[in-house]
Amino acid sequence: MTKFNPSMSRRRFALGAACTAGLAATGVARAQQVLAPTPEQALGPFYPTGYTGEDDFDMTHLEGHSERALGDVIEVSGRILDRYGNPMRGAMVELWQANDAGRYAHANDVSTGALDPNFQGVARLVTGPSGEWRIKTIKPRFYDTPLGLRTPHIHFDIQGAAHRLVTQMYFDDEAEQNATDFVYAPLGEQAAATVAKTTAPATYRWDVVLMDAAS
């Protein structure tokens, strides 16, 4: 029979405690891993200042109108996260975009594309308990500018608890046009974080990371 050795027992206990502490520290480090924030981009010249129209999640249909907006209907959803990956409930999300003809419903847009009286063009949302948001809209069309063609995109202005992010979202099925876009291309390695992924036909997913700290 092996004799009980108090010294050996203490050493084993100390080793076990050290291992437990190490595993706990590793778990904390993993839990506190900082995510790369979604890059900021230009507000653009067509921010809907003074907009007072309908601004719910369904941008394809206006109350009292018998027809829906022209173009391909899509759904885009995602979550707003803080830099530690925690969902941000109650974040304010404002977005706006061009219509199927590549035109904004904005007084300063001199595009020759036709306005669509049935397209909402602007949405204002508040994220739910898991930081989620969702819109139903029209796939925006590319349009020309003095600096070159703009690839299809949607503008976002997101306000968290301590940080505001102005950025733009692109589509993974527009990779060729994205690559030559004068706003997208300079993002370099950060560009991938601005691209919504196709999850099903006419359905996209895009999560956004703000610089807010975990609450």
- The mean per-residue pLDDT over the stretch 88-92 comes to 97
- The mean per-residue pLDDT over the stretch 21-33 comes to 51
150 among known catalytic residues: yes
**Cα–Cα distance measured from residue 86 to residue 129, given in angstroms and rounded to the nearest whole number:** 11
105 and 194 share one domain:
yes
Does 127 fall in a domain?
yes
Residue 91 in contact with residue 160, Cβ under 8 Å? yes
**Cα–Cα distance measured from residue 211 to residue 94, given in angstroms and rounded to the nearest whole number:** 18
155 among known catalytic residues: yes
114 and 8 share one domain:
no
- With bands split at pLDDT 50, 70 and 90, how would you rate the model's confidence at 212? confident
Among candidate residues 103, 153, 170, 184, the one labeled active-site is 153
Model pLDDT for residues 132-150, shown as the tens digit of each residue: 999 999 999 999 999 999 9
Among candidate residues 79, 83, 106, 150, the one labeled active-site is 150
Q: Give pLDDT, residue 5.
A: 57
For residue 94, what are the domain limits?
Answer: 73-209
**Cα–Cα distance measured from residue 205 to residue 147, given in angstroms and rounded to the nearest whole number:** 29
Q: Which one, of 172, 144, 166, lies nearest residue 74 by Cα? A: 172
Is the pLDDT assigned to residue 25 strictly greater than 50? no
State the greatest distance between any 2 C-alpha atoms of the chain, in Å, as a whole number: 95
100 and 176 share one domain:
yes
Rounded to 5, what percent of the chain is helix, strand, coil? Answer: 20, 25, 50
| Tokens 């600096």 -> residue | 147
Please give the share of the chain, as a percent, with pLDDT higher than 90: 82
Is the pLDDT assigned to residue 53 strictly greater than 60? yes
Question: What's the whole-model pTM score?
Answer: 0.85
Task: Please provide the distance, in angstroms rounded to a whole number, between the alpha carbons at the two ends of the chain.
Answer: 56
Does 108 fall in a domain?
yes
Q: Which CATH number covers residue 179?
A: 2.60.130.10
Does 121 fall in a domain?
yes
Among candidate residues 83, 155, 170, 204, the one labeled active-site is 155
Q: How many domains does the chain have?
A: 2
Mean residue pLDDT of the chain comes to 89
Residue 195 in contact with residue 178, Cβ under 8 Å? yes
Residue 91 in contact with residue 80, Cβ under 8 Å? yes
